[in-house]
Structure 1
């Protein structure tokens, strides 16, 4: 408690504090989101590097009104600076938290000052100086700060993979603060390769040395991360006849193409050509048996299991638990969306293309489980719990024919736009961290600041204020929400076309998962009596009046 109190006072001294954003006006609303929901980076760059500290935050600014307008970079400027979370944890600088800048020249061919990322984005620094969103994408209508080099340690060097940045929108002409919002900028170096590659364990013991004729000793480094990485290089050299150990530091993507590091979108180049993609190499190898054969009940994979814990062997992680969004709170795991190790590793070919899965491109889709509405959807359940056919070893993402909840065609969720150009992530949150996230995570703060409660952004007043006429033209065909006028006069829409009502409230108008109350509501029933509806209640017609089909 003393630590948190001291951190809180330090945060106040820097001009930030936990809780609701400081600038919310009746005229503007800023939205901001991380592109992936988690960014991994190496705990040490002295041996080899998979990923650098590199975080992408995007933002949109809405001019509120009956007909809201998405503003561009001639009208508003966006900046970010660190904000304290409810525990007082704040992360303004990466100085002293990583050795990335010591090796960045050797690994990436550029010389960078501390706190500056690969694309020029900066950490706010010790003085928590606001930093600009340098890019604006006119086609998407969003600002972007690309490559913020944040780490998973706060200013007290305590672990916090879900640090907050306060995104602030200012009038481009007057510099007046219009709106601000606290957003998680996630980062983690929790890659648990040491579970197997620590000296003396399964992938770094005498049996492995004998199997691959390894004559050099396994690492004796006192630093766990260094020992693990040195052992991986020793094993890679023995199995693949490379000489990585003598040429450190090594960028893995220099030989194995990774779309995550292809900042110019050029595809495989030079030494990458003809070699497995980095994601394929890692996932396919660890999804096979120790003898490089397909696993079976008697011969398990190197990394086996059908829960997120299997993924947390390498991805962050059993402590970070980067899968924390709506799917996690619904009891799903990584494999429900992505399939198993061999599917991700491209061992099996997709049914749609006949080719191996392309890492970072051929990903599960919202429409793979949210296949439609109550009147038109695939499968028995309105919302499926597996993004592909169960017997498909490639885990080919299902394509929805009813596009009500699907992304834009041939576009990933993180690049898709929804209601009148608003980014899907503006209203639903980042991948792996869709609202509501797991209790205790900082992600929910963003939704709470926007609309007063967590969950997808559903309150019409966020963008429209209090002057929205009755409509069924909202996101995904939604009607006015928490609106007394709609509450009392929505019957006219039912008699015009009751199928529009049934898409969410069900064919029998008894309510479905799509018609749950997103927050506590105070309605008026048919007899003009107050009707309290708790959050989570499935709204049916008979909740407030008799079945309208009998009127």
Structure 2
């Protein structure tokens, strides 16, 4: 059936606002394939489709003393909400005719850490966001005793994922954005002993392995473990990545990703063919970039532990790290060799967000073990999250209207009245995807097919007949440029030199779309705008009244594609502090305004690249962009959005900055020593992520049961930044010193507490950097845990609660103001 794309935008908008989720009911009965006209204007309006039992939001509002939970179930179903830990019933509610339900509970004596919704014999659970630290959780397990052995002293393992979240497709039949590919970095510290300094070990001292681990407090379910990406314990496949494709007879991994590997004339194929058939649980080959820079091709592959949970070795130890060091553009070297990273690296672990019981878990744990090279005995171990998500909602915009969505990027695809039949394409519905065997993600795959057909209609390509497609074959993505060669063209593979990057195609294109006189993707108010905290429906009619403007805009922009509606990519301390994506990265158009904007057939890369623009994945905001200084010298640039504490900034770029270029304050005590936080190190050569956690998941996670907190609890006994000096140093060995990380004094150290008087008397200005110019404490002097300290004046002790902004007066007179 032919559908015209010329329905006037005003009337389409009015129909959608009036009918909302019932919009799908307007669609006439039609065949599974429909032909529609394409134009350059696309939009989306979300409709309700999924009626299975689920919890969408579970949040604790401390100011209102209120628990808010909402979700979906079958229509008119009775839903019982309970505390998942105690089983105590909190409320009973009946879903409406659309299967939506919500609960608001005020004045609870004990806030649940996790809630359970039950209906018709089914139940689901979800962790409560912003739950207090004393919520109703079972007590955490004690940190494991550190094992030791051999001729080495007591060891500590510091480990982190590089990005805080990796994304991966589950289905590779149509097209793929990203493969199952995770990165784990780890350092081994020999604890100081006999008054000596701690020492970073290398592969000459120990070898490192990883294996799946679990936590009894895991919000996904007690003991959730992810050993394999092949099949669940019940025999259900987690992905088809390793399945053999019908066309080539090779794996879908090959069919999708061979185009990103160089063509080998001797093989007559992509060099990825040399690794076929790729066995289940084995990741894509990754060139050792340090060897490649020296002219040697040394590929590595990382495996999942498998159902037997066999420990897997880290493939590399990097003393130095080449980061785009061999890429020279217009006479300018883009990267550098980063000296002294001294980490063990496992690049390309093919983990997926499905545990062995088939449950969704985006934060699986891996146990990283340091082993004796001679005996293989475990000398030390730490659990760390290997985060992964498959949360992308292409169907929101690109699914057919017959499937309950607006169809504005499929059926109607805008309001172009050009009658050129070459701009028509056949819209696939979920039913047609089922008939074509594009399962089990039928709806998502139908939307993916519609994306390919839309691309073909607009740009004259033939992608729908070339499935599976890897988007960065043409749209360069540094994240998938494993050899770090930049945009290239090669035989039967990449064709990137004349096309915009993947970031510009996704962020820039979608961010520029308008509909009905407004932006398709709304703009986030600045951090100092009170509108952020208003109910969303006061600004956006039809929005969920339970959402703030901030939450609504996030869901309508970044979280349409990036994990955020269910999986939390941005979590930890930054998220708990109210930071959102736009505060660091800018809006979608600013993110997409990168160095490939001028590329064309007449102006190809490398000469056509604009090095004055950002390079995706390599040009990112830094810690120093918001942490510009300290309490004594804040170093705020003009136009900065300053936090209420007067020290930190709320936005990584100044107001009015058109490209959202990050603020740089290289002399800040919190500045990285390299271009990116994830590549930087500091105190004693320890990687920044080793103490502060992964990018986007900075310690601590506000959910006390979160797997993200396990690492810190094992290393120092409590969550948060690794701040306890005796994690790596022998207790009492440090003396009166300010040589700690960022110029800190020893923490929770009796020797310091009793002996810092002379320093405070003679150089009080050194105290003001963290404790404030008034000596009353600041956010920089907060206690990371409850402390009981000896009181020198008057004797006895003083107990400081976690989070106390410590000044002089807690223990003695104010030495700074007197």
Q: Is the 8 A contact 2:501 2:596 kept in 1?
A: no
2:204: which partner in 1?
Answer: 74
Distance in 2, matches of 1:490 and 1:365, equals: 33
Cα pair 2:776 2:806 within 8 Å, conserved: yes
User: For residues 227 and 264 of structure 1, what CA distance do their matches in structure 2 show?
Assistant: 33
Distance 1:144 1:81 in 2: 14
- What whole-Å deviation, never above 9, does each CA across 1:252-272 have from its counterpart, x for those lacking one? 010011001101100001010
Correspondence for 2:317: 136
1:24 aligns with 2:146: yes
User: How big is the shift at 1:497?
Assistant: 2.1
Is 1:94 aligned to 2:229, yes or no? Answer: yes
For residues 385-424 of structure 1, what are the structure 2 equivalents within 5 Å? 385-409=650-674, 411-424=675-688
| CA deviation map 1:292-326 (0-9, x unaligned) | xxxxxx73333224243221100013000211121
Deviation at 1:150, TM superposition (A): 0.2
C-alpha distance in 2 between matches for 1:155 and 1:368? 41
What is the TM-score with the length of structure 1 in the denominator? 0.92
Separation in 2 of the partners of 1:181 and 1:415?
A: 21
The question of whether the paired residues in 2 share the 8 Å contact of 1:505 and 1:540 is answered with: yes
Partners of 1:75 and 1:173 within 8 A in 2? no
Question: Is 1:548 matched with 2:795?
Answer: no
Aligned mates of 1:163, 1:302 — CA distance in 2: 35
**Alignment partner for residue 430 of structure 1, among 669, 694, 699?**
694
- Give the drift of 1:21: 6.0
Paired residue for 1:11? none
Instruction: Name 1:294's counterpart in structure 2.
Output: none
Question: Contact 1:346/1:394 (CA < 8 Å) preserved in 2?
Answer: yes
Q: Is the 1:117–1:148 contact (alpha carbons within 8 Å) kept by the matching residues of 2?
A: yes
Alignment-derived partner of residue 191 in structure 1: 392
TM-aligned CA deviation for residue 173 of structure 1: 3.0
> Is the CA contact 2:400–2:411 (under 8 Å) kept in the aligned structure 1?
no
1:21 and 1:138, CA in 2 relative to 1: closer, same or farther beyond 3 A?
A: farther
8 A contact 2:142–2:717 mirrored in 1: no
Matched, 1:313 2:560: yes
CA contact (8 A) 1:482 1:521 kept: yes
Q: 1:100 to 1:300 in 2, by over 3 A?
A: farther
SS of the counterpart of 1:273? coil
| Aligned-residue offset at 1:393 | 2.5
TM-aligned CA distance change 1:215 to 1:132, over 3 Å: closer
Is 1:451 paired with 2:716?
yes
Distance 1:241 1:349, change over 3 A: closer
Report what 1:145 is aligned to: 346
Alignment of 1:290-309 (within 5 A): 290=514, 299-306=517-524, 307-309=553-555
Structure 2 partner of 1:161: 362
Residue number in structure 1 paired with 2:797 = 530
1:463 and 2:694 aligned: no
Aligned-partner Cα distance in 2 for 1:257–1:127: 38
Q: Secondary structure at the match of 1:24?
A: coil
Q: Quote the RMSD (CA, aligned, Å).
A: 2.2
- 5 Å-filtered alignment, 1:483-498, equals 483-498=749-764
Relative to total residues, which structure has the larger strand share, 1 or 2? 2
The CA deviation at 1:274 is 1.9
Say which SS state the counterpart of residue 231 (structure 1) adopts: helix
Query: What residue in structure 2 maps to residue 50 of structure 1?
Result: 177
2:519 is paired with a residue of what secondary structure? coil
d(CA) in 2 for partners of 1:438 and 1:538?
Answer: 19
Instruction: Verify the 8 A CA contact 2:410 2:450 in the aligned structure 1.
Output: no
Residue aligning to 2:408: 203
Separation of aligned partners in 1, 2:786 and 2:503: 44
Task: Give the deviation of 1:535 after TM superposition.
Answer: 0.3
Q: Take 1:289 and 1:147, find their aligned partners in 2: how far apart are those partners? A: 35
TM-score by length of 2: 0.62
Whether 1:63 aligns to 2:320 is: no
The alpha carbon displacement at 1:194 in A equals 1.3
Does structure 1 residue 503 correspond to structure 2 residue 769? yes
Q: CA shift at 1:218, angstroms?
A: 2.9
Per-residue CA deviation, residues 310-365 of structure 1 (Å, 9 max, x unaligned), is: 21100013000211121101011111111100110016999xx9822210011011
* Contact 1:505–1:539 (CA under 8 A) maintained in structure 2: yes
Q: Which has the higher helix share?
A: 1
Map 1:120-135 → 2, pairs under 5 A: 120-135=301-316
Cα distance in structure 2, aligned partners of 1:163 and 1:74: 30
Please name the residue that 1:35 is paired with: 162
Deviations 1:190-236 (A, max 9, x none): 01111111111243443228747324233432412211111111111
Q: Provide Cα deviations, 1:424-461, integer angstroms capped at 9, x if missing partner.
A: 00000000100011314210111111111111110000
Shift of the 347–31 alpha-carbon distance from structure 1 to 2, 3 Å rule, reads closer
Q: 1:215 to 1:170 in 2, by over 3 A?
A: closer
Deviation sequence 1:19-75 (CA, Å, 0-9, x none):
456451471100110000000111321111110010000100000014000000010
Separation in 2, partners of 1:349, 1:107: 24
- How far is the alpha carbon of 1:177 from its aligned partner? 1.5
Aligned 8 A contact 1:77 1:169 in 2: yes
Q: CA separation in 2, counterparts of 1:540 and 1:529? A: 18
State the SS of the aligned residue for 2:728. Answer: helix
2:774–2:817 contact (8 Å) kept in structure 1: no
Correspondence 1:113 to 2:279: yes
Q: How far apart, CA to CA, are the structure 1 residues paired with 2:596 and 2:428?
A: 37
